[in-house]
Amino acid sequence: MKAISPIPFFDLRRQYRHLKNEIDEALQGVLQHGAFVRGPEVDLFADELCAYLQGEKVVPCGNGTDALQIALMTLDLKPGDEVIVPSFTYPATAEVVALLGLSPRFVDSDENTFCLSAERVAPYITKRTKAIIPVHLYGQPAPMEEILQLAEAYNLYVVEDNAQAMGATYTFSNGETQKTGTIGDIGCTSFFPSKNLGAYGDGGALTFGKNEELAQKAKKIANHGQKEKYLHECIGCNSRLDSLQAAVLRVKLRYLDKFNARRREIAALYDRALSSLEGAIQIPFRPSYSSHVFYQYTLRVYAGKRDALKAYLSEKGISTGIYYPRSVLQQSAYKVWRDQCVDVPISERLPKEILSLPMFPELEDQEVERVTTAIIDFFK
Ligand SMILES: Cc1ncc(COP(=O)(O)O)c(C=O)c1O
């Protein structure tokens, strides 16, 4: 009998096979000219990403965590200033706030989007609050229009954590659209290999929709505070996207919309097959204001059945993921804020209910069908 092949959670090798000629040529270009740091690919990629986002400026850096750190340094926040972050996110969002001696204020997620909402943030704004960091979790944009209105009313900066939502579009109530990452004062993204736009190692960028001055400052901070070589004007850090990663990203950027469209197609297949299980599970919510780019396709599994479903799928050779098994406040490193804190019931419930299904552009329809059939069988 022919063994059934396993279905990976994601598989970057399939994408490499598909793009091999272009990627190999791009990497060869860097190997030939030898400018591994600050090679021409870095500026070219920054310009191309800026054009794609229809933004003002892109400042590449070493990774998504650095992007967040540089963003907060660029805004000149001082120790003790409060920054509002979601409790349910990858810890990097809050980590950089703590690292800079600022005070993270953790806010619970919206039940549907799993993102911050203005309603949830508003009660936590104090005289010391300086910024809000909404995270577009799993590729679903946070409700930016209401967050911007709140920020304007209280004179707060908005730093978008766009690590999981590159390519998502936000539609304002007047019909205007904007790419996430260009809506707030600064956008921060990660090019970690599994991301919608992923490198072959670490990479990140700050993106700017309106403020060229902030962009110039961020560029300086990312380069040891140097305005020009050996002229250090402020304390900065060393955070660079290298030329090989930029070369890979230039190729992949050309396919980003196609890949995101395929992610949405896969999500629609999942939605259609799994909607009959409503009540036992919850499929991802789609607010009308945005296009989801499905970095993850994440179910909520009710009645304490998540772990059993995960194990059942694993027996069938289907890999799944839990993003994240703990909220940030449930991590021991963040205990001090947990003790001070706040009620975050949704952030505490989600880690027990969420299950992310295989999701990458090269996943085949028949594999999606195998996943959904197995889930339906589990609930029979
Ligand atoms: C929401 C979010 N923020 C920040 C980061 C940090 O990005 P990096 O791993 O490139 O430092 C990630 C990466 O996983 C993320 O998912």
Distance of CA 345 to the CA centre of its chain: 23
The residue among 105, 160, 112 whose CA lies nearest residue 136 is 160
Choose which residue among 164, 242, 327 to substitute to test ligand 1 binding: the one with the highest number of ligand atoms within 8 A of its C-beta.
164
Task: Tell me if 89 CB under 6 Å of ligand 1.
Answer: yes
The two three-digit tokens of residue 311, written as one number:
């194990």
pLDDT of residue 2: 61
Q: Is 69 in the pocket of ligand 1 (CB under 6 A)?
A: no
Give the percent of the chain with pLDDT over 90: 96
Cα(180) to centroid of ligand 1, in Å? 15
Residue 202 alpha carbon to ligand 1 centre in Å: 10
Rounded to two decimals, the pTM is 0.97
- Supply the DSSP symbol for 163: T
How far is the C-alpha of 80 from the C-alpha of 171, rounded, in Å?
Answer: 35
Q: Using one digit for the tens of pLDDT, what is the confidence trace for 270-302?
A: 999 999 999 999 999 999 999 999 999 999 999
Mean of the pLDDT values across residues 121-131? 97
pLDDT at 340: 75
**Residue owning the nearest CA to atom 7 of ligand 1:** 64
Place of tokens 């004007």: 233
